[in-house]
A and B are shown apart, each in its own frame.
Chain A
Amino acid sequence: MTAVVLDKVTKVFNRGRADEVTALAEVDLTVGDGEFVSLIGPSGCGKSTLLRLIADLIEPTTGTVRVAGKEAGRARRDQDYGIAFQQAGLFEWRTVRRNVELPLELRGMGKGERKARAEEMLALVGLAEFAGHYPAQLSGGMQQRVAIARALAVQPPLLLMDEPFGALDEMTRERLQGELLGICAQTGTSTVFVTHSISEAVFLSNRVVVMSARPGRITAAIPVDLPARDEAARQSERYFEHVTAVRQALRGVPATT
């Protein structure tokens, strides 16, 4: 089974009006089970739109989106994915732990069980001792880590991430990249990851999907084959070859204005 299938998906905003924008044009994309796919491209290339289509936060103008073998809306209602945005979007009136518990609570998980799960997730992102704090007491980077813990808490088969590490410092970012890979490998989670960073995309992904703007479309898909994904891999010849390949793919698209 495949985690995500997009078939000839087009998204037009403000259709029929003067400010009509074709955000995505005829996009085909398949994400296999357990695959890690990054979407990379210049601002306005529709990568976030693509992610939101998969999440059923918006509907395609034409084409179909299927998630976990189901229609996207069904998959959303079944909570088949976890999602983390650029902004943490924590609920400021809930403590850190209760924020992570929220999706579990809505799934009807028992109190003790979800508390244990939330604490486990917080330990994973290195915030175990902040469980009782309120979001306002945390730094932006820490809030983002809570949001990631929240996305992981339901242990979803599919993880959707929209530049989740964008606001983090380099150290935390690399550590969380490692953690994320570990979690995905361990649980067999499929991931669609939107990013601006070429190195991040290469390090994390099985496949880097390069997009271009106006209209948003996929211009290249570069399979990344690294023997291991550890600190040594970040320095390896192979890694830099892939970084170069992605960079060229990004440049190879002449900017159309």
Chain B
Amino acid sequence: MRRVLPPVIVGIAAIVAWQLTVTLGRIAPFILPAPSEIWEQLVEQRQNVWEAALASGANALIGLIAGSIVAVLAAMVASRFRPVAEISIPFAAVVSALPIIALAPILNNMFETTSSIPRRLVAAIIVFFPVFLNTLRGLREVNPIHQELMHTYAAGGWTFATKVRLPGALPYVFTGLRQASSLAVIAAVVAEYFGGLQNGLGSRITSAAAFTAYPRAWAYVVGACLLGLVFYLTTLLLERLAMPWRSRLI
């Protein structure tokens, strides 16, 4: 309770301050609508927001799962064969610095306009890098004492990998997944700005803004925030379940 209360109070205070600033300061709604208006729109549009969130969420989730699986497998291969890691790390670092979201319009042209694949692909590509780099680091970092102990137990390569390397890498995998879970949502939503199927949060935000329905656009933004939060918290929960030995999360 003591840990939850302060951020909640700050959050409420911020919303109140926002409301007061907009109403007392007579700020035009196209600059910044009041929270009360956004809330009204959110309630009115809840069915649409929900459906759009489901569509974007499905894209983000599929991208997240596919990207993570490929990333973990790639990291395992790279850690097994040192030269592969030496080549792939700088390569991955450079590619991850590129604005992958910019691929969205190109991918959109590669598939049919009704296809969800381009957005899922963008999410998967964006997810790949943090998961790959973190997992690889985890797999390569083994406590030297653990290494020596397993050596004295005459443990073979496979035993060492499953009993020491993989469980030791889990915290790193989850660090990557935590970053990736938020990125997946961002990627799935933003990729919709560049055309393609118009059923997700991103396309709803652009169309509402195009009709100068700013409070409605904001209502969808709130939906996107909530979606990102759900992804992040789910990852935290999974982390907790997968690593009961970790007493702290961060």
Contact = CB atoms under 8 A, between A and B. Distances in A.
Interface of A: 55-57, 76-79, 81, 83, 85, 87, 89, 91-95, 102-103, 106, 134-137
Given A93-B167, A93-B170, A106-B159, A136 B247 contact: yes
A83 B145 contact: no
Given A81-B152, A83-B149, A93-B170, A136 B245 contact: yes
A91 B167 contact: yes
Nearest to A86: B145
Interface in B236-250: 243-247
A130 B244 CA distance: 16
B47 interface: no
A79 B153 contact: yes
A139 to B, nearest CB: 14
Given A93-B243, A93-B245, A136-B247, A102 B153 contact: yes
A102 B163 contact: yes
Contacts of A83: 149, 152
8 contacts: A77-B154, A79-B152, A85-B145, A89-B143, A89-B146, A102-B153, A102-B163, A103-B153
A206 B244 CA distance: 45
Contacts of B168: 93
Given A93-B245, A137-B247, A55 B152 contact: yes
Given A89-B146, A136-B246, A137-B247, 20 more contacts: A56-B152, A57-B151, A76-B151, A78-B154, A79-B154, A83-B152, A85-B145, A89-B148, A91-B146, A91-B164, A91-B167, A92-B245, A93-B167, A93-B170, A102-B153, A106-B154, A106-B155, A106-B159, A134-B244, A135-B245
Count chain B CB atoms within 10 A of each CB in A78, A83, A93 and give the residue with the most.
A93
B170 A57 contact: no
B154 A76 contact: yes
Contacts of A134: 244-245, 247
Interface of B: 143, 145-146, 148-149, 151-155, 159, 163-164, 167-168, 170, 243-247
Contacts of B243: 93
A185 B152 CA distance: 24
B interface: dominant SS: helix
A89 B153 contact: no
A interface: dominant SS: loop
A78 B152 CA distance: 9
Contact of A89 (B145, B245, B246): B145
A1 B212 CA distance: 93
Contacts of B148: 57, 85, 89
Contacts of B149: 83, 89
Contacts of B245: 92-95, 134-136
Nearest to A82: B152
Contacts of B152: 55-57, 76, 79, 81, 83
B138 to A, nearest CB: 12
A166 B149 CA distance: 19
A30 B168 CA distance: 39
Contact of B145 (A78, A87, A106): A87
Contacts of B155: 106
A156 to B, nearest CB: 10
A134 B143 CA distance: 17
A55 B148 CA distance: 10
A74 to B, nearest CB: 10
A143 B169 CA distance: 22
Contacts of B145: 85, 87, 89
Nearest to B242: A93
A192 to B, nearest CB: 14
Q: Which 7 A-B pairs have the closest CB atoms?
A: A89-B145, A134-B245, A93-B167, A77-B154, A106-B153, A93-B245, A83-B152
Contacts of A102: 153, 163
Contacts of A55: 152
A192 B74 CA distance: 44
